[in-house]
A and B are shown apart, each in its own frame.
Chain A
Amino acid sequence: MTAPITAASMALDGGVLSAGDAAPEAAFVPSRGFWGHVGHRLVRDPVAMGAGAVILLVVLIAILSPWITPMDPYKGSMLRRLKHVGDATYWLGSDELGRDMISRLMLGSRLSLFIGVTPVLIAFVIGSAIGILAGYVGGWTNTILMRTIDVFFAFPSVLLAIALSGALGAGIFNSIVSLTCVFVPQIARVAESVTTGIRKRDYIDAAKLSGALPLTIMRVQVLGNVVGPIFVYATSLISVSMILASGLSFLGLGVRPPEPEWGLMLNTLRTAIYANPVVAALPGVCIFVVSIAFNLFSDGLRAAMEIRQ
């Protein structure tokens, strides 16, 4: 089987490859890889970078808080209740039991982040597994799984979280369980639709034609393409989760006093809303800023992951 390729024809093809898309002088530019591209674009997105900085700061504070709080967050003083923001000792004022607000907010970030992020992470694993399975296998498996998921969708997520927490009883562990149950259906939904979309792409057909077994195709061709979008969706749920978790604590279904947690702090400071509205609002501001930061960062991540041809 010798090839009847003439020198001229090779020269023609040679011309094709030598004058590729890049400028001829820029001989070999190594590819950045997919995540390299995402990072490259993310760094150029000021909003996402700002949000990322806020998240990083809060995470750092949460980790270091036992050592860096200016005062003991548990020690109250009946004489120094509800100091205003800007007080010489209590920079951000003090709460209804005279505990230092800034210390409690710093330590509170630990629990708030923990019960905000953990349910989403667990739900990400469970929900993705269900959704990818349903999307890739399709047919009856899909119908049964997704209709079951739809039952959960019938309830508004706040109600569902409260109902589950109420049934399980108060406590951090129980509120994480109930929040996980809230997010699994949502993530499974997205995972299923992403996977169904991917399954119809030509490259999956091409992989089938190469004789690969379904499990190999799932692992090599499907997984890498669906995990990204699902993860992005999950990060957008962190803000919702933080608000719900705070809500549960606010209702007395989550963290129990005297542990500082933003939602719980919002609840206990409720009584002081007329006496010292600014201090009473501070935990709410924290919840707001951090959830917005997670949302903006997830938006930036999604934009950065959109590959264009």
Chain B
Amino acid sequence: MSVIPDAPDPFARDRGGPAQPLLSVSGLYKHFPVRKAGGKKQVVRAVDGVDFDVLKGETLGIVGESGCGKSTTAKLLMGLIERDAGSLLYDGQPVGERVMPWRSYRRQVQMVFQDSYASLNPRMTVEQSIAFGPKVNGVPGREAVERARALLARVGLEPKRFAGRYPHEISGGQRQRVNIARSLALEPRLVLLDEAVSALDKSVEAQVLNLLLDLKAEFGLTYIFISHDLNVVRFISDRVMVMYLGRVSEIGPSDTVLDAPAHPYTEALLASMPSLDPNNRTQAALLQGDPPNPIDPPSGCRFHPRCTLAEPICSETEPPLDTVGPLHRVSCLARQPGSGHSAAPARALAA
């Protein structure tokens, strides 16, 4: 029961079957050149070797603090900035090459931005903004507008009242609904939500999260959900990826990662969430200071200067992202057998 006229069944477009990841990212790099005072040329290692898969029909949460590279990753995935190295496979096909040019990839992968106001053209009505995508993809004008109205209705905005409005005439939550509607106008299979609910008030955030859940079920969507709020990520995600200074520190099922974190950084992030129980307030912060600057990341494990488990070996060896449990991978020497870290589990246990 799709509200979009003649919407193709998302699975009709499926190539590789349910076991093949919808999006497979490997060896993704992006360094930005910066000039520091004194004319020295340096690079910001915004994304520094990131690999992950997005499975069909799941919601992959990406969490991390500022400078961890999550927003750059989002832009790289959408091709809004050019990657230095790495490959994207969409349903098995390399993105940006002849079989899957960016234009056709973007019909299947869409994005919702954090700033609901900046992401809508202030001179276009809500309806025009939503209909723009279908129009430039060859949908006749009237049909595109009808589709826009159907989508507005689907995201909970009565078309009669909202279609002709301008972005500044509606509230933040309503604007974000419009942005969601626009992202769905091209009938994508994958929607990337970059801090899409972070700027909203809590009660509005809850409404939008519910909407996202409904839309996912209705249109068979896959989400990449980027957020700094672990509670929201826990609520909406099937799997969670934790990033630190341009690298993946932990990835796995959200229950495992957020209830029994294997990486000390994930643990610290969780301990930083404010308590909601007045009888049980946080007593001490696990981490001191700010997240370091990705211009000059520490050697070895990037987390070692702030890590409670750090040993000399951590500053020498860069930990690989290794499997520690079902679907659960961690880049921490203390969790990897035979790494040389004193806390590492014995090899036999892992095997």
Q: Mark A residues whose CB is within 8 Å of B.
A: 1-5, 9, 12-14, 16-18, 20-21, 27-28, 30-31, 33-34, 37, 201-203, 205-213, 216, 220-221, 224-225, 307-309
Inter-chain contact B218/A1, CB cutoff 8 Å:
yes
Quick check: is B211 within 8 A (CB to CB) of the other chain?
A: yes
Inter-chain contact B157/A33, CB cutoff 8 Å:
no
Inter-chain contact A206/B113, CB cutoff 8 Å:
yes
Minimum CB–CB distance from A210 to chain B (whole Å) comes to: 3
Contacts of B42 in A (CB 8 A): none
Minimum CB–CB distance from A307 to chain B (whole Å) comes to: 5
Quick check: is B161 within 8 A (CB to CB) of the other chain?
A: yes
Inter-chain contact A211/B103, CB cutoff 8 Å:
yes
Inter-chain contact B106/A210, CB cutoff 8 Å:
yes
Contacts of A207 in B (CB 8 A): 121, 132
- Total chain B interface residues with beta-carbon distance under 8 A: 55
Inter-chain contact B136/A202, CB cutoff 8 Å:
no
B117-137 Cβ-contact flags toward A at 8 Å (1 or 0):
111111111000100110011
Inter-chain contact B156/A13, CB cutoff 8 Å:
yes
Inter-chain contact B219/A17, CB cutoff 8 Å:
no
Quick check: is B315 within 8 A (CB to CB) of the other chain?
A: no
Minimum CB–CB distance from A107 to chain B (whole Å) comes to: 41
A1 to B219, CA, bound (A): 7
Closest residue of B by beta carbon distance from A210? B133
A13 to B215, CA, bound (A): 12
A12 to B210, CA, bound (A): 10
Q: Mark B residues whose CB is within 8 Å of A.
A: 1-2, 9-10, 78, 80, 103, 106-107, 110-111, 113, 115, 117-125, 129, 132-133, 136-137, 156-158, 160-162, 164-172, 174, 179, 182, 185-186, 207, 210-211, 214, 217-220
Inter-chain contact A1/B220, CB cutoff 8 Å:
yes
Given contacts A1-B2, A31-B169, contact A203 B119 (CB under 8 A): yes
Contacts of B214 in A (CB 8 A): 3, 5, 9, 13
Inter-chain contact B164/A225, CB cutoff 8 Å:
no
How many pairs, one residue from A and one from B, have CB atoms within 8 Å of each other in the complex? 120
A27 to B280, CA, bound (A): 48
Inter-chain contact B133/A211, CB cutoff 8 Å:
yes
Closest residue of A by beta carbon distance from B121? A203
Contacts of A208 in B (CB 8 A): 80
Set B156, B172, B218: member contacting A17, Cβ < 8 A:
B156
Inter-chain contact B118/A201, CB cutoff 8 Å:
yes
Contacts of B117 in A (CB 8 A): 309
Minimum CB–CB distance from A60 to chain B (whole Å) comes to: 32
Contacts of B211 in A (CB 8 A): 13
Set A30, A202, A213: member contacting B119, Cβ < 8 A:
A202
Going nearest first, the 8 A-B pairs with the smallest beta carbon separation are A210-B133, A3-B218, A202-B119, A212-B136, A224-B123, A202-B118, A202-B113, A13-B156
A4 to B210, CA, bound (A): 12
Given contacts A12-B210, A34-B166, A210-B133, contact A28 B160 (CB under 8 A): yes
Inter-chain contact B136/A216, CB cutoff 8 Å:
yes
Inter-chain contact A202/B174, CB cutoff 8 Å:
no
A-B contacts, 13 listed (Cβ < 8 Å): A1-B220, A5-B214, A13-B210, A202-B115, A203-B118, A203-B120, A203-B129, A207-B132, A210-B132, A210-B136, A213-B136, A224-B124, A307-B166
Minimum CB–CB distance from A231 to chain B (whole Å) comes to: 13
Inter-chain contact A30/B164, CB cutoff 8 Å:
yes
Set A14, A209, A307: member contacting B78, Cβ < 8 A:
A209
A216 to B136, CA, bound (A): 8
A56 to B118, CA, bound (A): 37
Contacts of B110 in A (CB 8 A): 209
Contacts of B133 in A (CB 8 A): 210-212
Closest residue of B by beta carbon distance from A22? B161
Set B111, B120, B124, B218: member contacting A209, Cβ < 8 A:
B111
Contacts of A1 in B (CB 8 A): 1-2, 9-10, 218-220
A33 to B122, CA, bound (A): 10
Set B10, B120, B164: member contacting A31, Cβ < 8 A:
B164
Inter-chain contact A205/B113, CB cutoff 8 Å:
yes
Closest residue of A by beta carbon distance from B105? A211
A208 to B124, CA, bound (A): 16
Contacts of A220 in B (CB 8 A): 132
A213 to B133, CA, bound (A): 11
Closest residue of A by beta carbon distance from B163? A31
Contacts of B124 in A (CB 8 A): 221, 224
Inter-chain contact B106/A4, CB cutoff 8 Å:
no
Contacts of A211 in B (CB 8 A): 103, 106-107, 133, 136-137, 186
Inter-chain contact B217/A3, CB cutoff 8 Å:
yes
Contacts of B122 in A (CB 8 A): 34, 225, 307
Closest residue of B by beta carbon distance from A5? B214
Inter-chain contact B171/A21, CB cutoff 8 Å:
yes
Given contacts A211-B103, A307-B168, contact A16 B1 (CB under 8 A): no
A206 to B219, CA, bound (A): 21
A18 to B111, CA, bound (A): 27
Inter-chain contact B217/A21, CB cutoff 8 Å:
no
Set A31, A202, A205: member contacting B165, Cβ < 8 A:
A31
Closest residue of A by beta carbon distance from B114? A202
Inter-chain contact A308/B168, CB cutoff 8 Å:
yes
Given contacts A202-B113, A212-B132, contact A20 B161 (CB under 8 A): yes
Contacts of B161 in A (CB 8 A): 20, 27-28
Contacts of A202 in B (CB 8 A): 113, 115, 118-119
Minimum CB–CB distance from B166 to chain A (whole Å) comes to: 6
A27 to B160, CA, bound (A): 10
Pick from B121, B133, B171, B207 the residue with the most CB of A within 10 Å. B121
